[in-house]
Structure 1
Amino acid sequence: MMVTALDVANTFIMRHSDLYLSNLSLNKLVYFAQVESLRLTGKPLFESEIQAWQYGPVEPDVYRAFSHHKTAYLTPAGVVKNDEQVNRIVDHVADKYGFLTAFDLVDYSHRDGGAWKNVYDGTRNKTITIKDILDSDDVVSYPTLEGTMTQDMHDIYNKYRNTFRLLGDA
């Protein structure tokens, strides 16, 4: 059974409804699923092209399928396949990257040494090849909370925990 990037996107939506998924964040997670497959198996998870766009890696079919949603709640586009390898990789990516906001994912994909940073030249539609990914830091590192919006939100919540509790009780 041939797995597509859209299958991977649909799997994220079905298996990880607890994540706030927008088209922007979903495209980054699909990209990192490709990275994770290369890291764990040495093989791509799907064959379709990933492109370097302004806000990071994008798989055009995934972008088009969910572009009408903007930041609204995403629902699967088409039939959701139940593939054990895809499920395993999607779950792993959700665990390693799912705590990041959409713009944390953009920042992480834009870091020095990442495949997007190595390829992007200010124009859309530049292909990020499997070789580009394998030659990048994307396959050797994972994001951390340090310096992310997610960390900032945790810090604010911890500092004003009682205030948030009071507001929640109001």
Structure 2
Amino acid sequence: MYGALDIAKYVITKCTKDKHPISNLQLQKILYYIQRELLQQGLAGFSDDMEAWQFGPVAPAVYRQYCGFGAMPIRMQYNVKIEQDYVKLIVPIIERKRQLNPWDMVSDTHSVGKAWDIIYRNGLGDHQVIPKELIKNKG
């Protein structure tokens, strides 16, 4: 299984090569969608836990790595080794979600009754882990 930072590097590289760079906020949301969709298929997107932060689900190690970019596009390329079977699963998610407005993705992940909302609880659960089973079942 991959770590969130490995998957983030793949996502950033793909988006940079496709001339569609993304921000750290978009990256976090795309990672969440990858995790959710793969969990719903009975797989794990990556090993790291995601936490409920103010602007939605966050993979903390990825946030720390890229927070210096602020809202600016992350234009980097990495040599990340990801198995082709895994790539086939995540590429459609990346290509579909990177087209969305980042704040629409925030609204989606913040929807009442979804995993982030259940854990965040108007700030009471700030920075608490969102269990993978909850991501799988509540989205």
TM-score (norm 2): 0.86
Distance in 2 of aligned mates of 1:30 and 1:3: 12
Identity in percent? 30
What SS class does the counterpart of residue 135 from structure 1 fall into? helix
Query: What SS class does the counterpart of residue 71 from structure 1 fall into?
Result: coil
Distance 1:130 1:108 in 2: 18
Equivalent residue letter for 1:5? A
- Residue 62 of structure 1: CA displacement? 0.6
- For the residue of structure 1 that corresponds to 2:129, the secondary structure is strand
Q: Are 1:48 and 2:48 matched, yes or no?
A: yes
| Alpha-carbon distance in structure 1 between the residues aligned to 2:78 and 2:21 | 20
Aligned length, in residue pairs: 135
Distance, in Å, in 2 between the alignment partners of 1:20 and 1:30 is 15
Q: Which structure 2 residue ranges, 5 or more long, are not aligned? A: none
Residue 24 (structure 1) aligns with? 25
Q: 1:52 to 1:133 in 2, by over 3 A?
A: same
Instruction: Give TM-score scaled by structure 1 length.
Output: 0.71
Alignment-mate amino acid for residue 34 of structure 1? Q
Instruction: State whether residues 26 and 98 of structure 2, in contact with CA within 8 Å, keep that contact through their aligned partners in structure 1.
Output: no
Shift of 1:127: 0.6
Cα deviation, residue 28, structure 1: 0.7
Higher gyration radius (CA): 1
1:99-123, CA deviations, whole angstroms, 9 ceiling, x for partnerless residues? 2111111011111232111111204
CA RMSD of aligned residues (A): 1.9
Task: Say if 2:4 is the partner of 1:5.
Answer: yes
Report 1 or 2 for greater relative contact order, CA contacts < 8 Å, sequence distance ≥ 6: 2
Alignment partners' CA distance in 1, 2:7 and 2:34: 8
